[in-house]
Amino acid sequence: MTETIRRIVLASRPAGSPTPNNFRLEEAAMPEVPDGQVLLETIYLSLDPYMRGRMSEAKSYADPIAIGDVMVGATVSRIKQSRSADWRQGDIVVAYSGWQTHAVSDGSDLRRIDPAVAPISTGLGVLGMTGFTAYAGLRNIGQPKPGETVVVAAASGAVGSVVGQIARIQGARAVGIAGGPEKCAFVKNELGFDAAIDHRAPDFARQLAEACPDGIDVYFENVGGAVWDAVLPLLNDFARVPVCGMISHYNDDGLEKPSTDRFPASMKVIQQKSITVRGFMNVEFIDQQPAFLEQAAAWIADGRLKCREDIVVGLENAPAAFLGLLEGRNFGKLVVRVSGER
């Protein structure tokens, strides 16, 4: 009996917001494992906003996914079969298998994780790339000082939740922005932010200003759009803006209706207040990852760093969950449970 694997491929490129038709679930033969390599079985698949960029044809920092290719993504996987001396069957690793049940790896992209430290799914979140992104952006660019005000949007999400908690651990005030009262309550009461503002409120900009009576020293930018407009007039002299992403614009397709050009006004404030806007990707600070993982594990152990995961069951549900992520419907780090933890 031939074993098969399941995988989700890019069926077509989205125009604006993706739809379920842009994805296709396929079956394929179980791959052969060459000598020196391993067969991985996906336990958890990470869904992250950057994947939207890879669905488009435009070249970005990475090549686009080809039509018919498996959707990319980080996974927590179990080594199902090892033909490598470096890995043993049963090892749990962070891999980059993509949206599929199995994959073959030569081991170069694997990071072993210890299930005793925290639930293994956190290897995709607070103890993975999203947690590290928050840490690296704050440490290298935001550099909050005690008493300063740090603002982050998507504050109940994978990156934002860690930004605010680390800011507080470092003695800064953390103000989170989230969508809806339930997420705001979580950000304030569970994550311990100093304030949480609902960006859907009609007087959002006024509420944000009230929550930041001393202005904003660090704005960790991961959404863009209306949040930027509300943040801009509150930025203090010498404010720092680590630019991690702009999820509110990921579905822009260049065919938008004419609007106001927000660039000149933004640059005017940047100039007059000596503000630093610095884009980054976590890979440029990757040598800091071991220190982060050690530190974050200790913070989790003593209760200072909390996380919330939004776990969707079944690979076939990944496309719908991903579309929801782009619209803010997830609540916490979004992961897909692909197989049981046997």
Q: Is 63 in the site for a copy of itself (CB under 8 A)?
A: no
Considering only the stretches 36-44, 209-217, 259-267, 306-314, report the one whose residues sit in contact with a copy of itself under the rule CB under 8 A: 259-267
Considering only the stretches 17-25, 111-119, 122-130, 239-247, report the one whose residues sit in contact with a copy of itself under the rule CB under 8 A: 239-247
Q: Is 189 in the site for a copy of itself (CB under 8 A)?
A: no
Q: Are 158 and 334 in contact (CB under 8 A)?
A: yes
| β-sheet bridge partners, residue 112 | 93
Q: Using CA atoms, how far apart are residues 247 and 231, in angstroms rounded to an integer?
A: 16
Question: Of 39, 74, 16, 119, nearest to 318 (Cα)?
Answer: 74
Q: How far is the CB of 61 from a copy of itself (least distance, A)?
A: 5
Would you call 1 exposed, middle or buried from its count of C-beta atoms within 10 A (0-12, 13-18, 19+)? exposed
At 181, list the tokens.
Answer: 């009262």
Q: Smaller CB distance to a copy of itself: residue 206 or 278? A: 278
Q: Smaller CB distance to a copy of itself: residue 24 or 273? A: 273
Q: Tell the residue number behind the tokens 């958890």, with chain if given.
A: 44
Q: Smaller CB distance to a copy of itself: residue 117 or 270? A: 270
One DSSP character per residue, 9-29 reads EE-S--SSS--GGGEEEEEEE
Task: Please provide residue 63's backbone torsions phi and psi, each rounded to the nearest 5 degrees.
Answer: -65, 150
One DSSP character per residue, 79-142 reads EEEE-STT--TT-EEEE---SBSEEEE-STT-EE--TTTS-GGGGGTTTSHHHHHHHHHIIIII
Considering only the stretches 35-43, 86-94, 157-165, 252-260, report the one whose residues sit in contact with a copy of itself under the rule CB under 8 A: 252-260
Q: Is 273 in the site for a copy of itself (CB under 8 A)?
A: yes
Q: Of residues 88, 111, 262, 329, which one binds a copy of itself by CB under 8 A?
A: 262
Q: First and final CA of the chain: distance in angstroms?
A: 22
Q: Of residues 28, 67, 246, 311, which one binds a copy of itself by CB under 8 A?
A: 246
Q: Smaller CB distance to a copy of itself: residue 117 or 277? A: 277
Coil, strand or helix: which one is 75? Answer: strand
Q: Of residues 48, 148, 198, 221, which one binds a copy of itself by CB under 8 A?
A: 221
DSSP state of 188: I
Q: Is 243 in the site for a copy of itself (CB under 8 A)?
A: yes
Q: Around Cβ 220, how many Cβ atoms within 10 Å?
A: 30
Q: Smaller CB distance to a copy of itself: residue 57 or 256? A: 256
Q: Is 11 in the site for a copy of itself (CB under 8 A)?
A: no
Q: Using CA atoms, how far apart are residues 77 and 293, in angstroms rounded to an integer?
A: 19
Q: Of residues 143, 276, 295, 339, which one binds a copy of itself by CB under 8 A?
A: 276
Q: How far is the CB of 264 from a copy of itself (least distance, A)?
A: 4
Q: Is 139 in the site for a copy of itself (CB under 8 A)?
A: no
Q: Are 241 and 275 in contact (CB under 8 A)?
A: yes
Q: Is 228 in the site for a copy of itself (CB under 8 A)?
A: yes
Considering only the stretches 12-20, 67-75, 158-166, 260-268, report the one whose residues sit in contact with a copy of itself under the rule CB under 8 A: 260-268
Q: How far is the CB of 81 from a copy of itself (least distance, A)?
A: 37
The footprint of a copy of itself (CB under 8 A) covers 60-61, 221, 224, 228, 243-246, 249, 252, 256-264, 266-281, 284
